[in-house]
């Protein structure tokens, strides 16, 4: 399928130098002029130079510096003032920064968490010089073992990261005077309409935090209207409904579970279990679509029942919902690690976009004056804007209807009486038959296990698993007879210990075979090197029969072999001819 | 005397009708441009996005002049083709400040040129690279390159930068179109 069949490349700037993720991109008409702008929270270098960038069409229109790494950007209406322009909320660290008309307007701080009392005391004593630096380090370190890294305050985490005594002392001196606070950070943001469902109605902010909570914020007072908790850290949110009426929040968590929160609930209800960690979550109508790290795309209904699941051809980098109002269609776009964006309609692949680099972030919506625009940010920092053609359609191509073979009617014979009787019997005695089968299966397993144990006990296996002498033996028979050559290869499979005092012994029925060298001393066996021991073996029986030959590997004077191989000898062909 | 009166005069039309189709993406300035051509008393002070299409008629010296001001919004663009058959000239307006959508304009132009009613006709096309006053606007040469106008070989075409609000460039363009239509009618 050609790339440009459905998508027009409106803009391509390989040097845009953007570093962002889907959650940090938004499209909104920020100025009320009918032209949607692209808002990107740029992570800069990943350590500094973080910016809130706004693109008007192809031009970078404004830049605001961000002081910490952004985790999410969202636009929402927080009041009813005219003109109806949305505010921008940037989640970053423990704060939500609100921008109105692209000017900083308000900063919301997440509530602090309770500090561990032991930790609090330790810092208190350190401040009063009752504890010295190394004592403090020890206390905090043991506390870390106990409650985990996340249970500590950022200050303690930083302190524990200081590499040596002097830097620890410096850190302590610098920080001990301040109050100890434990803060959490925002992991994801979304919006929830307050009491009206119009596009420009006032919305509440919904925040997911590292402390495994969900907060709903009042858009005017910025107070927490509702706080809910989850068993794990939320990473993706999907919110529908109205705060004042009824709402539903579907959350994908870091533990690979999906939870549902509804109006009136305080704790997330487990809804579905994923096969792996989620990489994106989309909600459409009554279904939830989740892509997971094990290359699968799952679809669930609201109750958590799996509707379908497909295997994807590669690792998913990001996920975006394409809502085509003009076609009343909702598609799912998946960016894969092999520089492709696949577009699915339900579980059918309907389009593929090829990019020159991996896509790290995607946003679909109205950009400029074009409704169906897909904005892609590439791994290398490039920015690509694709516009869906007016004439594009996404029909599911049925694999050319049923193939020839399926149309042909098979000549199926009539059911015989025997078949019917058999079926009846199976239907009536199904439980019994199953039991018999299970019984036999268990017996089979038991006898397998017994033989295995026996083999281990008598060391009659060609690989020695003993800790002291890990050895591997393989034997080969060469020649046609009556004289054969037996070739035994011995290998020491231990990583470093050489084996000493080994010998190979050949044992056979002396009425059938005569062995040239039945005892071969093996020199020191260096790990990894294959040592070959060879002997000639002549068949002396006149009956033209063959027998087995046993090869033992023994150590020193021990009477029990380390390992054993049984060789089934071939019939000597020359004898037979005679 | 409005421009369309001039047009009629130049054509020397007697009791004849000439219709022009005005197309282009939404917000490109089609209605603003036509408003500029209207006589003072008919000029509307406020231009709103066109819904469906508007027909602007000008009666001058026994000649009715009809301009179809089509809406450029995506959902109405499918209406354009219904008027291809009856027009003697086409005005294609491009917002030269909307760089993002130049590809969309090109796509629409390609579909227009491929249309069976249009493909074989020697229909004169006038392009306005409108909104030249806007800071981000690109030059008419760039617009021409972005639309791939050099590929149009079987139709007379002309591109001019314009400002539909002040009227700059409109007269030059319409003069060209008048001459083309006149030539065609005299054949
Ligand atoms: N700066 C500037 N603005 C212009 C120009 N031409 C039109 N506009 C503005 O562009 C906007 C849209 O103009 P319209 O004439 O309604 O556009 P249209 O092509 O008729 O749009 P639809 O009817 O929706 O297809 C209006 O706000 C005009 O004032 C121009 O040359 N320069
Ligand atoms: Mg109009």
Question: Of the given ranges (A43-47, A314-318, A408-412, A521-525), which has the lowest mean pLDDT?
Answer: A408-412
Mean predicted confidence (pLDDT) in A556-572? 81
β partners of residue A374: A364, A386
Mean predicted confidence (pLDDT) in A392-397? 82
Same domain flag for A312 and A360: yes
Inside any domain, residue A77: no
Alpha-helical (H) ranges within A413-531 are 417-428, 430-457
Inside any domain, residue B2: no
C-alpha–C-alpha distance, residues B69 and B164, integer Å: 14
Q: Which domain holds residue B33?
A: 16-186
Phi, psi angles (nearest 5°) of residue B42: -95, -10
- Chain A nearest C-alpha distance from B19 (Å): 27
List, in order, residues 6 or more apart from A325 with CB less than 8 Å away: A371
- H or E segment and range at residue A498: none
Same domain flag for A516 and A554: yes
Inside any domain, residue A436: yes
Mean pLDDT over each residue of chain A, to the nearest integer? 87
* Residue carrying the six token digits 């991996």: A358
**Radius of gyration, alpha carbons of chain A:** 36
C-alpha dihedral sign at A383, A389, A395, A400: negative
* Model pLDDT for residues A347-363, shown as the tens digit of each residue: 889 999 999 999 999 99
Inside any domain, residue A54: no
Phi, psi angles (nearest 5°) of residue A107: -125, 120
CB distance A483 to A535 below 8 Å: no
β partners of residue A25: A40
Read off the tokens for A491.
């290998």
Per-residue pLDDT at A1: 42
- For residue B28, the ligand 1 atom closest to its alpha carbon is 19
Mean predicted confidence (pLDDT) in B21-35? 92
The minimal CB distance from B101 to the residues A59, A369, A389 is found for: A369
- Other beta carbons less than 10 A from residue A389's beta carbon: 18
Mean predicted confidence (pLDDT) in A38-50? 91
CA distances from A465 to A156, A448, A486 (A): 48, 19, 24
Cα angle A160, A107, A53 (rounded to 5 degrees) comes to 90
Which ligand has its closest atom nearest to the C-alpha of B25?
Answer: 1
Per-residue pLDDT at A342: 93
CB contact under 8 A, A390 and B77: yes
Does the global pTM surpass 0.95?
no
Per-residue pLDDT at B15: 47
Same domain flag for A533 and A492: yes
Rounded to the nearest angstrom, the distance between the alpha carbon of B174 and the centre of ligand 2 is 18
Q: Which of B101, B105, B107 should be substituted to probe chain A, the one whose Cβ sees the most A Cβ atoms within 10 Å?
A: B101
Q: Which domain holds residue A453?
A: 417-458
B146 pocket-lining for ligand 1 (C-beta < 6 Å): no
Question: Of the given ranges (A288-292, A509-513, B122-126), which has the lowest mean pLDDT?
Answer: A509-513
Inside any domain, residue B27: yes
Inside any domain, residue B103: yes
Per-residue pLDDT at A402: 47
Read off the tokens for A280.
């994106």
CB distance B161 to B117 below 8 Å: no
Is the pLDDT reported for residue B14 higher than 60? no
Same domain flag for A372 and A450: no
Inside any domain, residue B149: yes
Inside any domain, residue A536: yes
The minimal CB distance from A387 to the residues B75, B99, B104 is found for: B104
Mean pLDDT over each residue of chain B, to the nearest integer? 85
- Report the b/e string of A20-36 with b at 16+ CB within 10 A: bbbbbbbbbbbbeeebb
Inside any domain, residue A369: yes
Domain harbouring A307, CATH code: 2.120.10.30
Same domain flag for A452 and A475: no
Please spell the DSSP secondary structure of A46-108, one letter per residue.
SSS--EEEEEETTEEEEEEE-SS-EEEEEEEB-S-PSS---EEEEEETTEEEEEETTEEEEEE
Is the pLDDT reported for residue B1 higher than 50? no
C-alpha–C-alpha distance, residues A519 and A504, integer Å: 6
C-alpha–C-alpha distance, residues B2 and A125, integer Å: 90
Please spell the DSSP secondary structure of B136-174, one letter per residue.
TPPPHHHHHHHHTGGG--SS-EEEEE-BTTTTBTHHHHH
Is the pLDDT reported for residue B122 higher than 80? yes
Per-residue pLDDT at B65: 66
Rounded to the nearest angstrom, the distance between the alpha carbon of B69 and the centre of ligand 2 is 6
pLDDT band at A170 (very low <50, low <70, confident <90, very high): confident
Percent of chain A with pLDDT over 70: 95
Per-residue pLDDT at A73: 95
Same domain flag for A430 and A513: no
- For residue B93, the ligand 1 atom closest to its alpha carbon is 19
Collapsing DSSP to helix, strand or coil, B63 comes out as strand
Is the pLDDT reported for residue B2 higher than 70? no
Same domain flag for A483 and A562: yes
Counted domains in chain B: 1
Q: What is the DSSP letter of A416?
A: P
3 state SS for A186-211: EEEEEEEECCCCCCCCEEEEEEEECC
CB distance A201 to A193 below 8 Å: yes
CB distance A486 to A567 below 8 Å: yes
Select from A569, A493, A573 the least CA-distant residue to A535.
A569
CA distances from A565 to A143, A488, A550, A561 (A): 56, 10, 6, 10
Domain harbouring B51, CATH code: 3.40.50.300
Inside any domain, residue A45: no
Counted domains in chain A: 4
Inside any domain, residue A412: no
C-alpha dihedral sign at A338, A343, A347, A349: negative
Inside any domain, residue A139: yes
Per-residue pLDDT at B3: 60
Q: What is the DSSP letter of A414?
A: P
Per-residue pLDDT at A539: 84
């Amino acid at each position: 399928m050609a790339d440009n069949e459905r998508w027009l490349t409106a803009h391509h700037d390989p040097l845009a130098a953007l570093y962002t993720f889907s959650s940090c991109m938004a499209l909104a008409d920020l100025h009320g002029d009918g032209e949607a702008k692209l808002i990107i929270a740029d992570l800069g270098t990943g350590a500094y130079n973080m910016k809130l960038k706004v693109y008007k069409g192809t031009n970078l229109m404004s830049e605001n510096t961000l002081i910490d790494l952004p985790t999410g950007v969202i636009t929402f209406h927080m009041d009813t003032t005219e003109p109806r322009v949305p505010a921008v909320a940037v989640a970053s660290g423990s704060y939500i920064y609100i921008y109105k008309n692209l000017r900083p307007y308000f900063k919301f701080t997440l509530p602090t968490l309770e500090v561990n009392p032991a930790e609090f005391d330790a810092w208190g004593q350190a401040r009063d010089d009752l504890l010295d630096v190394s004592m403090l380090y020890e206390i905090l370190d043991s506390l870390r073992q106990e409650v985990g890294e996340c249970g500590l305050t950022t200050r303690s985490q930083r302190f524990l990261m200081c590499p040596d005594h002097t830097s620890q002392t410096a850190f302590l001196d610098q920080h001990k005077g301040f109050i100890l606070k434990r803060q959490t950070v925002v992991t994801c943001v979304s919006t929830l309409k307050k009491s009206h469902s119009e596009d420009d109605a006032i919305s509440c902010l919904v925040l997911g935090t590292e402390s495994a909570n969900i907060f709903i914020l009042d858009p005017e007072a910025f107070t927490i209207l509702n706080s809910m908790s989850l068993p794990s850290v939320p990473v993706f949110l999907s919110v529908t409904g109205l705060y004042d009426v009824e709402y539903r929040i579907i959350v994908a968590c870091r533990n690979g579970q999906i939870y549902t929160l509804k109006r009136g609930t305080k704790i997330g209800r487990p809804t579905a279990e994923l096969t792996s960690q989620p990489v994106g979550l989309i909600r459409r109508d009554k279904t939830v679509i989740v892509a997971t790290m094990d290359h699968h795309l799952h679809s669930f209904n609201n109750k958590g029942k799996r509707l379908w699941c497909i295997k994807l051809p590669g690792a998913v980098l990001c996920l975006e919902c394409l809502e085509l109002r003009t076609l009343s269609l909702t598609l799912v776009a998946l960016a894969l690690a092999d520089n492709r964006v696949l577009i699915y309609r339900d579980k059918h692949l309907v389009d593929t976009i090829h990019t020159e680099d991996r896509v790290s972030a995607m946003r679909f919506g109205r950009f400029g004056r074009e409704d169906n625009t897909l904005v892609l940010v590439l791994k290398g920092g490039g920015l690509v804007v694709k516009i869906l053609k007016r004439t594009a359609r996404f029909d599911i191509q049925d694999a050319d209807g049923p193939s020839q073979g399926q149309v042909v009617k098979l000549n199926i014979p009539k059911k015989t009486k025997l078949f019917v009787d058999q079926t009846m019997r199976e239907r009536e005695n199904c439980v019994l038959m199953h039991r018999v089968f299970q019984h036999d299966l268990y017996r089979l397993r038991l006898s397998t296990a017994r033989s295995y144990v026996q083999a281990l006990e008598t060391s009659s296996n060609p690989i020695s698993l003993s800790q002291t002498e890990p050895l591997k033996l393989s034997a080969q028979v060469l020649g046609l007879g009556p004289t054969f050559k037996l070739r035994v290869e011995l290998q020491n499979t231990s990583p470093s210990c050489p084996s000493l005092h080994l010998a190979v012994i050949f044992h056979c029925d002396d009425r059938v075979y005569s062995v040239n060298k039945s005892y071969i001393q093996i020199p020191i066996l260096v790990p990894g090197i294959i040592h070959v021991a060879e002997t000639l073996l002549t068949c002396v029986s006149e009956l033209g029969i063959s027998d087995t030959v046993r090869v033992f590997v023994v150590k020193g004077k021990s009477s029990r072999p380390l390992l054993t191989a049984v060789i089934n000898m071939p019939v000597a062909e020359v004898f037979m001819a005679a | 005397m409005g421009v369309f009166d001039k047009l009629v005069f130049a054509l020397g039309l007697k009791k004849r009708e000439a219709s022009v189709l005005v197309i282009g993406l939404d917000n490109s300035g089609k209605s603003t441009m036509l408003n500029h051509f209207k006589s003072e008393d008919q000029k509307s002070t406020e231009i709103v996005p066109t819904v469906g299409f508007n027909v602007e008629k000008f009666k001058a010296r026994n000649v009715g002049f009809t301009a179809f001001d089509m809406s450029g919004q995506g959902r109405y663009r499918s209406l354009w083709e219904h008027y291809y058959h009856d027009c003697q000239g086409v005005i294609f307006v491009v917002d030269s400040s909307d760089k993002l959508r130049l590809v969309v304009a090109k796509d629409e132009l390609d579909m227009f040129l491929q249309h069976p009613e249009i493909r074989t006709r020697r229909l004169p096309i006038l392009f306005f690279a409108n909104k030249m006053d806007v800071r981000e606007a690109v030059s008419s040469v760039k617009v021409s390159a972005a639309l791939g106008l050099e590929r149009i070989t079987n139709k007379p075409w002309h591109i001019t930068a314009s400002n539909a609000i002040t009227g700059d460039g409109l007269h030059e363009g319409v003069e060209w179109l008048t001459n083309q239509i006149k030539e065609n009618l005299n054949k």
